[in-house]
Amino acid sequence: MPYNAFKPPAIIRNVHLQNVLSTSSLRRNLLARNHQQFIAEQKTVILEAGNGVKLSADLNAPLKASNRKLAVLLHGWEGSSRSAYIISLAGKLAANGYDVLRLNFRDHGNTHHLNRGLFNSTLLEEVIGAIEFALDEYNYNNYVIAGFSLGANFALRYGLRNSHLAKPASAIFSVCPVLDPAHTMISLESNWSLYEQYFVKKWKRSLEAKLEHFPDYEFKDDLKNMNTLKQMNEYFIPRYTGYKNVETYFKSYTLTGSALALLNTPTLIVTSKDDPVNPYSDFEKIAKPEKLEVLAADCGSHCAFLKNMQLDSWTDDVALEFFRTS
């Protein structure tokens, strides 16, 4: 269906400025002010995800279960349930009648103590398990999924499993999904160095937090000498993911080629042709079944899409309209 085009003011159109502003303290402060009541009413809950795994989430809902629709939001790598883009969309949806569950992946959102094992991007089963637990615990039958970046990849994989679930989602919204992790890693390593160093710093900080709770892990000394994503991937993937090398690990959650061919849930992918993290060429290499729509803006950077000088997000509007009509 047609959506309003993304046309930001020229002064904030630049790809890097969009990214910087989208995660800036200025925007976080604006979101905190604009969604003050929403944030004050959030409740942190622990979800049983199966096999002893526990995941944390922030829930905004009435004290007792209602017949309202639930929106489940999935953040990106090294983000959290309280990332700016998550709060922005969550607040928008809540203001329009949705209850909202903002899930934290394992080892995200200061939850390193909940599980001994390290996070990796193949842990879809525990994400499904946590969502199923929440649906049953809080008595929801009608829900949608929205994800950003790596969370958008999880959302698409959830969609592939959706028709086999006891309670399937009614729609999937995916913003700037990682489609080919190997290509995404090349982009991070070859574009503006700030991007790679941002993730190196955050990943190392996360692993250091893991060591505080599980000091018997043996990577403490090795971690100190790692300064690139390539070094970290080549060290941690064969040791802690169950995959023998980086290549097979990345392939396990790659979504190009025919991977999305059996997607049978109304799904909208939103991306930007100037995304510095995910090459736009990857979006031209995916299967496009009848219920999948791809909306590609000329600009918007990576999960930014700031539409005005108030730093509001265009994707929030698109998500609301998509869910309304799905």
Summarize pLDDT for 86-104 with one digit per residue, the tens: 999 999 999 999 999 999 9
pLDDT given at position 64: 58
Summarize pLDDT for 251-307 with one digit per residue, the tens: 999 999 999 999 999 999 999 999 999 999 999 999 999 999 999 999 999 999 999
Q: How confident is the model at residue 66 (pLDDT cuts 50, 70, 90)?
A: low
Summarize pLDDT for 154-201 with one digit per residue, the tens: 999 999 999 999 999 999 999 999 999 999 999 999 987 899 999 999
Summarize pLDDT for 112-140 with one digit per residue, the tens: 999 999 999 999 999 999 999 999 999 99
Burial zone of 152 (CB within 10 Å; 0-12 exposed, 13-18 middle, 19+ buried): buried
Q: What is the mean pLDDT of the chain?
A: 97
pLDDT given at position 65: 53
Q: Per-residue pLDDT averaged across 231-260, rounded? A: 99
pLDDT given at position 59: 98
Cα(239)–Cα(243) distance, integer angstroms: 8
* 265 within 8 A of 173, measured Cβ to Cβ: no
pLDDT given at position 191: 84
199: left (phi over 0), alpha (psi -120 to 50) or beta: alpha
pLDDT given at position 251: 99
For the entire predicted model, the pTM comes to 0.97
pLDDT given at position 172: 99
| Residues labelled as active-site residues | 149, 275, 302
pLDDT given at position 2: 77
pLDDT given at position 193: 85
* 283 within 8 A of 271, measured Cβ to Cβ: yes
For the chain, first and last CA: distance in Å?
Answer: 10
Percentage of the chain surpassing pLDDT 90?
96
Q: Per-residue pLDDT averaged across 223-234, rounded? A: 98
Q: How confident is the model at residue 33 (pLDDT cuts 50, 70, 90)?
A: very high
- Domains of the chain, CATH where assigned: 10-179+259-325 (3.40.50.1820)
Q: Which structure tokens are listed for 202?
A: 């955050």
